[in-house]
Amino acid sequence: GAGVSQTPSNKVTEKGKYVELRCDPISGHTALYWYRQSLGQGPEFLIYFQGTGAADDSGLPNDRFFAVRPEGSVSTLKIQRTERGDSAVYLCASSLTETDYNEQFFGPGTRLTVL
């Protein structure tokens, strides 16, 4: 079956531009997570969706970052006025439910480079 997919795989943009990163979770997975991985670091949590609603957005670094999941499936991470410090790999993960034993399945990530 299909895993978590993310598009684009690579995105290069200029400072100040707006970008959208898309995540398509495994079908039927209600929980969806966004993480950001900077070079040489482990992934850091950004936001968690349960269904359509953002249940925890405590990891979003500032109000330039926003994410939606309008129909409880595909999610889009939106970054306004990009800065060079936003350059990282953005990972999406999904799980069947949010119970503690359910593993999170990760997508291949979107590598964002802000010039």
Nearer to other proteins, 48 or 82 (CB): 48
By CB under 8 A, is residue 20 in contact with other proteins? no
Q: Which of 11, 24, 36, 43 lies at the binding interface for other proteins (CB under 8 A)?
A: 43
By CB under 8 A, is residue 65 in contact with other proteins? no
Per CB under 8 A, the segment of 17-25, 68-76, 77-85, 102-110 that binds other proteins is 102-110
Angle at 16 between CA 20 and CA 7, to 5 degrees: 20
Nearer to other proteins, 80 or 102 (CB): 102
Exposed/middle/buried for residue 13 (C-beta within 10 Å: 0-12, 13-18, 19+)? middle
63 contact partners, CB below 8 Å, separation of at least 6:
none
